[in-house]
Amino acid sequence: MGVLTVDMQRLRGAIDAAHGMRESLMQDLARGTRELKRGVGTMLTAFHASHLQMAKRTRADCATFLAGVDRAVNRIRGTVVNLRKGFASDLRGARHAWRGGSATRRTRSASRHGAGGRGKRT
Protein backbone atom coordinates (compact mmCIF):
# COMPACT_ATOMS: atom_id res chain seq x y z
CA MET A 1 0.00 0.00 0.00
CA GLY A 2 1.20 3.35 -0.91
CA VAL A 3 1.16 6.60 1.00
CA LEU A 4 -1.73 7.91 -1.12
CA THR A 5 -3.84 4.86 -0.35
CA VAL A 6 -3.19 5.16 3.39
CA ASP A 7 -4.02 8.88 3.32
CA MET A 8 -7.24 8.17 1.36
CA GLN A 9 -8.27 5.47 3.86
CA ARG A 10 -7.56 7.79 6.79
CA LEU A 11 -9.52 10.62 5.10
CA ARG A 12 -12.42 8.25 4.35
CA GLY A 13 -12.44 7.13 7.99
CA ALA A 14 -12.46 10.76 9.18
CA ILE A 15 -15.36 11.57 6.82
CA ASP A 16 -17.34 8.52 8.03
CA ALA A 17 -16.66 9.45 11.67
CA ALA A 18 -17.72 13.06 11.06
CA HIS A 19 -20.88 11.83 9.33
CA GLY A 20 -21.67 9.58 12.30
CA MET A 21 -21.06 12.42 14.78
CA ARG A 22 -23.30 14.73 12.68
CA GLU A 23 -26.07 12.10 12.67
CA SER A 24 -25.70 11.65 16.43
CA LEU A 25 -25.78 15.44 16.95
CA MET A 26 -28.94 15.78 14.82
CA GLN A 27 -30.63 13.04 16.86
CA ASP A 28 -29.59 14.77 20.11
CA LEU A 29 -30.93 18.09 18.80
CA ALA A 30 -34.24 16.48 17.77
CA ARG A 31 -34.56 14.80 21.17
CA GLY A 32 -33.70 18.05 22.96
CA THR A 33 -36.24 19.94 20.85
CA ARG A 34 -38.96 17.41 21.71
CA GLU A 35 -38.12 17.69 25.41
CA LEU A 36 -38.14 21.49 25.26
CA LYS A 37 -41.49 21.51 23.45
CA ARG A 38 -42.92 19.18 26.08
CA GLY A 39 -41.51 21.34 28.89
CA VAL A 40 -42.77 24.56 27.32
CA GLY A 41 -46.21 23.00 26.81
CA THR A 42 -46.33 22.00 30.47
CA MET A 43 -45.17 25.45 31.51
CA LEU A 44 -47.80 27.14 29.32
CA THR A 45 -50.51 24.93 30.82
CA ALA A 46 -49.36 25.94 34.31
CA PHE A 47 -49.28 29.62 33.27
CA HIS A 48 -52.81 29.32 31.91
CA ALA A 49 -54.08 27.73 35.14
CA SER A 50 -52.32 30.40 37.24
CA HIS A 51 -53.75 33.14 35.05
CA LEU A 52 -57.28 31.78 35.50
CA GLN A 53 -56.82 31.72 39.28
CA MET A 54 -55.44 35.27 39.28
CA ALA A 55 -58.35 36.44 37.12
CA LYS A 56 -60.88 34.89 39.52
CA ARG A 57 -59.15 36.48 42.53
CA THR A 58 -58.93 39.84 40.78
CA ARG A 59 -62.59 39.66 39.79
CA ALA A 60 -63.59 38.86 43.39
CA ASP A 61 -61.32 41.62 44.76
CA CYS A 62 -62.81 44.13 42.32
CA ALA A 63 -66.34 43.12 43.27
CA THR A 64 -65.49 43.53 46.97
CA PHE A 65 -63.86 46.90 46.31
CA LEU A 66 -66.80 48.15 44.24
CA ALA A 67 -69.26 47.02 46.91
CA GLY A 68 -67.27 49.04 49.45
CA VAL A 69 -67.23 52.05 47.13
CA ASP A 70 -70.98 51.68 46.63
CA ARG A 71 -71.57 51.61 50.41
CA ALA A 72 -69.32 54.66 50.89
CA VAL A 73 -71.10 56.58 48.13
CA ASN A 74 -74.49 55.74 49.63
CA ARG A 75 -73.31 56.95 53.06
CA ILE A 76 -71.98 60.16 51.53
CA ARG A 77 -75.18 60.60 49.54
CA GLY A 78 -77.24 60.26 52.74
CA THR A 79 -75.00 62.78 54.50
CA VAL A 80 -75.33 65.22 51.60
CA VAL A 81 -79.13 64.83 51.58
CA ASN A 82 -79.25 65.60 55.31
CA LEU A 83 -76.90 68.57 54.89
CA ARG A 84 -79.01 69.96 52.04
CA LYS A 85 -82.17 69.62 54.14
CA GLY A 86 -80.43 71.42 57.00
CA PHE A 87 -79.20 74.19 54.68
CA ALA A 88 -82.68 74.58 53.20
CA SER A 89 -84.16 74.85 56.67
CA ASP A 90 -81.51 77.41 57.68
CA LEU A 91 -82.19 79.43 54.53
CA ARG A 92 -85.94 79.42 55.22
CA GLY A 93 -85.27 80.63 58.75
CA ALA A 94 -82.84 83.28 57.51
CA ARG A 95 -85.34 84.53 54.91
CA HIS A 96 -88.03 84.70 57.50
CA ALA A 97 -85.75 86.55 59.91
CA TRP A 98 -84.62 88.93 57.12
CA ARG A 99 -88.24 89.79 56.42
CA GLY A 100 -88.58 90.66 60.08
CA GLY A 101 -90.51 87.65 61.23
CA SER A 102 -89.89 85.13 63.92
CA ALA A 103 -91.43 81.72 64.50
CA THR A 104 -93.59 82.93 67.41
CA ARG A 105 -94.61 86.11 65.62
CA ARG A 106 -95.65 84.22 62.49
CA THR A 107 -97.75 81.86 64.58
CA ARG A 108 -99.47 84.74 66.40
CA SER A 109 -99.93 86.62 63.14
CA ALA A 110 -101.40 83.61 61.41
CA SER A 111 -103.76 82.98 64.29
CA ARG A 112 -104.92 86.65 64.38
CA HIS A 113 -105.51 87.00 60.64
CA GLY A 114 -106.56 83.49 59.73
CA ALA A 115 -104.62 80.49 58.62
CA GLY A 116 -104.18 81.58 55.00
CA GLY A 117 -103.43 85.27 55.36
CA ARG A 118 -100.39 87.22 56.42
CA GLY A 119 -100.91 90.08 58.75
CA LYS A 120 -99.05 93.33 58.87
CA ARG A 121 -95.57 93.21 60.20
CA THR A 122 -95.25 94.83 63.55
Cα separation, 122 vs 109, in Å, equals 9
Residue ranges of the chain whose pLDDT lies below 70 = 102-122
Where along the chain do its domains lie? Answer: 3-113
pTM of the model: 0.47
What integer pLDDT is reported at residue 1 of this predicted model?
Answer: 73
Q: Give pLDDT tens digits for 72-88.
A: 999 999 999 999 999 99
Which of 91, 114, 92, 113 has its CA nearest to residue 122? 113
What integer pLDDT is reported at residue 101 of this predicted model?
Answer: 75
